[in-house]
Amino acid sequence: MSVKIDELLKEALIPSEKPDAQLNQEILRKAVEVNNMKKPFFKTIPVVATIAAAVLATGSLTAYGAWKYLAIEQVVEEIGDKKLADAFKEKGAVNINECQEYGDYKITLMGTVSGDRLSSYLVEDDGAFITDRTYSVISIEKKDGSPMTDTSDDNYENNFLASPFIKGENPAFLNIYYMDGGCSSFVKDGVEYRVVDHENIEAFAGRGVYLGVLGSAFYDNNAYNFNNETGEITRNENYEGINALFELPLDKSKADEAKAEKLLAKWKKGDSGNKENQENTRDTEDKMDWANIKENCKLIKGSAKTYPASQYGKMLSYSLDVTGNSNPEENIWSIAIDEYFKKDEYGTKVAGAASNSEGTVYIVVKRSQNGKITISQYQ
Amino acid sequence: MNTTELEKCIETYGNDIYAFCVHLAYSQQEAEELYQDTFLKAMELLSGIEAENNPKSYLLSITIRLWKNRKRKYAWRNRIAGFSSLEEETQEAWDVNGNTLEEEVLKKEQIRQLRQAVKKLDYKYRMPVYLYYMEEIPIAGISKILKLPKGTVKSRLYKAREILKKQLAAE
């Protein structure tokens, strides 16, 4: 069947649609227009100069710092993660504030924190919740003081990549893409802030861990040198783009070689959705059992959706908009009831959970004796 | 990129990008706009496309980014209207090969159902399916475009196939 579905998909999705020649001509016409447009010349007074003037006038460097930059917990609050902001105030968090300048940019590693369930948001990968994570906050600004393009601007281009690297592992083959990584970013007062998160890497504290910031959306093999013999990772000094490299000062007491090896094996296998994760998910879901939810949570009014018995064995679409995701399509969950109830099984079970800054919403599926299926949300 | 280079780029990758846009978008008009914007944006990002070993992957990643932006601006209303007209048009593109009429009709119906089922997949499953089966981008390339670990791409493709198999069996 898998061969058949493979073949059918290939056949079904052969790109058969072709653009009209007129459409292509239209693109070329617009391209000529764009090329011919002369950009207006604006003489900008660099923000740095304005700041210098302000500093001279007030004589207060502190005031300048406070005006221009957000504190690390403010950055995290700005992305709506109060829980993580609190974690950055705790003892285990490390404030770094190390700056590096390359090309037109100044990049600052502000700080880092690691731990289990530090964030209000659960990271899900193929059904598994990855709760034990490391978070680092960086800021990127232009050296000439001109503002970074706002992330909500149509012209915003995601041209940076921040990724942890592990000493002894070639960053080309082990970077944030393999570590269930993610990033939240925004621009405030012309400075771009990024909260980078991925699986907890404290276990590697004994080996040495770096945080690289590249001036491209993807990892670039030319940005860093990897010494096969020593395992050292260094910046390629001849690289023309941005290739900042910070050492992440992780707590050495958290070094755990056995855990590190296990993580490496998982990442290298490239199978973050493997059985182990699925078992973890099942564990998490078992903990959120129906009896517990029934006792501690309330049904969200209007969330219940009923499906006829004939829908058993099919994929049911259920809309869940709790994460503030503006994309309605990404809020649609596909739920197969036969994954939760065998043919002759009835009852109520928890199908999953989603979190936002206000808490966790649980998806509950119920199969009645008459076969009727109800999906609802509890909080 | 000058216009001659842009023309060459459209000539080489235009069909692939256009088909991708058609499958992403909810209407013909939206697909055409997305296609147009992809190449105009690529022209702006001259250095990016030159530095990339795989311009097609680079163009597809631009399409995805633009599409995500557009979706925020477009209301749901485009969806239902767009679906039927696109389905009708694309169905006509299927050729009849040497099979018997009955086999051909059955297969055509199966393919129609499969295309519809792919359209209804969650975004996270649908995107790897289009990139893998329609655009023939390898797993590593999809991983770069979607900024996901390779393992996740593999497992999403696997899960997508499982969902599609179930749906086809249920039809």
Give the mean pLDDT of A210-217: 89
pLDDT of residue B146: 84
- The pairs formed by A125-128 with CB atoms below 8 angstroms and a separation of 24 or more are A125/A180, A125/A272, A125/A273, A125/A277, A125/B152, A126/A272, A126/A273, A126/A277, A126/A278, A126/B152, A126/B155, A126/B156, A126/B159, A127/A273, A127/A277, A127/A278, A127/A281, A127/A352, A128/A272, A128/A273, A128/A277, A128/A278, A128/A280, A128/A281
pLDDT of residue A131: 84
Q: Which residues make Cβ contacts (< 8 Å) with residue B140, sequence separation at least 6?
A: B150
For chain A, the C-alpha Rg in angstroms (whole number) is: 25
pLDDT of residue B129: 93
Closest CA to A179 of A258, A270, A259: A270
pLDDT of residue A43: 24
Asked if residue B132 lies in contact with residue B139, where contact means CB atoms within 8 angstroms, the answer is: yes
CB pairs under 8 A between A and B: 163
Give the mean pLDDT of B37-53: 68
Closest CA to A120 of A139, A140, A110, A135: A135
> If you measure CA to CA, which chain B residue comes closest to A316?
B167
User: Inter-chain contact A19–B14, Cβ cutoff 8 Å?
Assistant: yes
pLDDT of residue B85: 34
pLDDT of residue A201: 96
> If you measure CA to CA, which chain A residue comes closest to B147?
A177
Q: Which residues make Cβ contacts (< 8 Å) with residue B88, sequence separation at least 6?
A: none
| pLDDT tier for residue A44 given thresholds of 50, 70 and 90 | very low
- Average pLDDT of chain B is 75
Whether ipTM > 0.85 holds is no
Give residue for tokens 């149509």: A154
Q: Which backbone phi and psi does B107 adopt, to 5 degrees?
A: -65, -40
pLDDT of residue B87: 40
* pLDDT value at A191 more than 50: yes
* Chain A residues in contact with B161 (beta carbon < 8 A): 2, 5-6, 9
Tokens standing for residue A333: 């969950």
* pLDDT value at A42 more than 60: no
* pLDDT value at A21 more than 70: yes
The greatest distance separating any two alpha carbons of chain A, rounded to the nearest whole angstrom, comes to 79
Q: pLDDT tens for residues B154-164?
A: 888 888 998 89
First-to-last C-alpha distance (Å) of chain B: 49
Give residue for tokens 């960086």: A138
User: Inter-chain contact B61–A9, Cβ cutoff 8 Å?
Assistant: no
In whole angstroms, what separates CA A87 from the centre of its chain?
18
Q: pLDDT tens for residues A89-148?
A: 887 898 888 999 998 999 999 999 999 989 877 665 655 677 899 999 999 999 888 889
Angle ∠(A103,A109,A112) on CA atoms, nearest 5: 160
Interface mutation vs chain A, best among B2, B155, B157, B163, most A CBs within 10 Å: B155
Q: What letter does residue A314 receive in the DSSP assignment? A: S
* pLDDT value at B56 more than 90: no
